[in-house]
Amino acid sequence: MYHSTFPTSPHLEAYLRSGRIISEHETAQDMVTRIVAALEHVDARFDPTGAAAFGERLGWALDTERIVFSTPIMTNAGRHIDRPLAACAVPPVDLRGDLSQVKTIVDGYHRAGMGTGFNLDELDELDDPVGVLRYLNDIAVTGADSGTEDRPVGNMAILSLDHPAAEEFIGCKLGADTRGEAWKFNVSLHVTDAQMRTALGSPGRERDLLIAAAEAAHACADPGLMFADRMNEGNPTPEVGEYVSTAPCAEVGLVAGETCQFGYLNLGRFYAGDAFLPVDLDALAATTRILVRALDDAIEASLAHYPSPLSAQVMGTKRKIGVGVCGLADLLLAAGLPYDSVEGRRLAQEVLTLVNYTSKLASVELARTRGGCPAVLGGRSRYADPAFLRRFADLEVDSVPRGDWAALADQIASTGLLRNSSTIAVPPTGRSAPVVRASTGIEPLFRLSGDEPERPRADVLAALKAAGRTDVLGFVAGHGRLPADATLPERLRAVLATATQISSAGHLAMAAAVQACVDEAVSKTVNLPASARSIDVYDTYATAFELGCKGITVYVDGSRSVQPQALATATAR
C-alpha cells in the first residue's frame, strides 16, 4: 500500500479542512494515501498484477505536486465511497414539469459534489425561463447554506440569443449585489455563428442584444457568450446526443446526464531550463499517461454511485475525462517569458498539444486492454473521419510531429479503439491549484505573493534572483507586488506583469492559442481594468469570435461588490 509523503504545512491543512476536502482528523498525506488506494483498487479490476505499480507511480506524481485532482476526487475518493468522483453534470430534469422533483434531483447532484448545467431553451415565454432560473438558483443557495454540501458547487444556465426572453435573461443579475441577492449561477448566451455575424454586421435585434449583453457584463460580469456552432462541432459523439449545456465554467459541453472527471497537470513542475523548449517533455508525457489512467479509474469508481441511472448509462457509453492543467503562469515565469508574448503563447501551445496527443495515445492503449468506449466503437463518432483529429496537426509546434497526429487519427478511425470520447479540458482549477502551490488554470498571476502573507511565491522570488534583481526581492517579499516607480528592464517588467497589467488583447490571444490545442472550450477570463467601458466589452466579444474562441467571459475590475482577490476569477468560464 502506498503511503504519501506529500509536502504539507499548517496553512495547507487549514485550507483543506476549511474546504471540507479532508476530515477533521485527516492530514494532506492521509488524503493522498486514500486517493491512491481507492483508484488502485479500481485499477486492479483491469490489471490485477500491475495495479500496485500504477499506484506507486500515481502516488509519486501526487507527492511531487505534478498532479492534483479536482476537489470531488480529493474529497470523496476513499472517504465517501457512496459518491461519484465527478466534478460537474447536466442533471436529467424536465424544467417544464414538477419543479419539486427537479429540486430533488439537483440536490442529489450537489450533495454528491457536482456542479450543474442547464439549458433554458425548452422553456417558452409563458414558462418564464428567468423565473425558473431564479428557482434553480434558490435551490443552489439553499443547498450551499444547508451544511450538507462539501464543496461550493458552481452552476451554469444558458439561453439562446434568439429566445424571446433573451433580454430579460441578459439583465437577470444586474443590481444583484445592491439588492443583496446571492447567486450560485453563471449565465451565458448561446449564439450561433450566423447570429454573431449578423449582430456584428448590421443593426437589428441581434446587435441590440449583444450590446445589452456587453453592458450587463460590464456591470456584473454576466452574461458570457458561448458560440453554439463551434461547441457542437467539437462534440465527438453527436449520435449519442447533442450538447444540452456545459460545465459551470463552460470548458466542456455535456449531453443530458453526462458528467466529467477532472485532474490537472501542474506545468510549473515540468520546467527543465532548456533555452529552446524549457519543459521536460518526456516527464510531461509520462505523467499525462498516469493521469489518463487514473481518471478512467475514477469513471469506473463512479458508475454505481451517480444520482441518476442516466448518468451511469451515458458515462458508460462516452467515458469523457478532462485532463487539465494549472501552473502555466508559473512555467512562463520560470522560463522568463511574458504571459502576453508570442513566445509565451508558443510555449503554451507546445505543452498543451503534447498533453492532448499523449492523452489520446494513452486512451488508445487503455482501450486495447479495457475495451473502447461504445460511443466511438463501430464508427459511430466523428473520429471515424480522420480529419476530426488531424486538425491538431495544423498547429506549428515541435512537441508533436504532424505525422504522429495523422497516424493516430488513422488508427482510431480504422479501429474505433479509444477508451475515452474526450480527454483534455481546461477548467479554472481555482480550488485545486492552491493545494500544489500553483497558479490557476491558464490564467496569469493575479499577484506576486502567495496565499500566506509571510510566504511570498517562491517561484517569483527565484525568477527575480535569477534575473539579478536583488533590489526588488525585499519589496516583493513584503508586499507581493512591485512598486509603481520600480526601475526594471522592460522585459522583466513584462515577465512579472499580473492580470490587471495584461491587456485584454493579451488575455484573448492566450485563450485563442490554447483553444486551438484542446477538444472543446477553454475556461479563461478576459480581465479588463476598472476604467473599461461597455464598448470595450463589446469589442472583446467581437475579437473572441474572430479569433476562433468557443466562448468568452469578461470581468471588469471592481464590477462586483465582493470579489475574492484584487481581481476576481470566480466568474471564469
What per-residue confidence (pLDDT) applies to 305? 96
Which is more confident, 86 or 459? Answer: 86
What per-residue confidence (pLDDT) applies to 482? 56
Summarised one tens digit per residue, pLDDT across range 505-558 is 999 999 999 999 999 889 999 999 999 999 999 999 999 999 999 999 999 988
The band of 453, judged by pLDDT with boundaries at 50, 70 and 90, is very low
What per-residue confidence (pLDDT) applies to 42? 98
**496: Cβ–Cβ under 8 A, 6 or more apart, which residues?**
333, 448, 460, 463, 464, 482, 488
Percent residues over pLDDT 90 in the chain: 79
Could you give the CA distance from residue 557 to residue 87 in angstroms, rounded to a whole number?
28
What per-residue confidence (pLDDT) applies to 347? 97
What per-residue confidence (pLDDT) applies to 376? 97
Q: Does residue 458 surpass a pLDDT of 80?
A: no
Which is more confident, 194 or 126? Answer: 194
Compute the Cα dihedral for 206, 210, 216, 222 and give only its sign: positive
**Number of helices and strands in the chain (H, E):** 22, 12
Summarised one tens digit per residue, pLDDT across range 467-505 is 555 655 555 555 555 555 566 678 777 888 888 889 999
Q: Are strands 259-266 and 67-69 parallel, antiparallel or unpaired?
A: antiparallel
Q: Does residue 297 surpass a pLDDT of 80?
A: yes
What per-residue confidence (pLDDT) applies to 165? 97
Average pLDDT over residues 256-281: 91
Secondary structure element (H or E) that encloses residue 450, with its range = none
Average pLDDT over residues 248-256: 94
Q: Does residue 462 surpass a pLDDT of 70?
A: no
What per-residue confidence (pLDDT) applies to 381? 96
What per-residue confidence (pLDDT) applies to 377? 94
Could you give the CA distance from residue 157 to residue 116 in angstroms, rounded to a whole number?
9
Average pLDDT over residues 396-414: 96
Q: Give the C-alpha distances (Å, rounded to integers) separating 181 from 141, 174, 178, 562.
A: 10, 10, 8, 12
What per-residue confidence (pLDDT) applies to 568? 38
Summarised one tens digit per residue, pLDDT across range 561-571 is 655 444 433 33
The reply to whether the predicted model has a pTM over 0.85 is yes
Average pLDDT over residues 442-470: 59
What per-residue confidence (pLDDT) applies to 500? 85
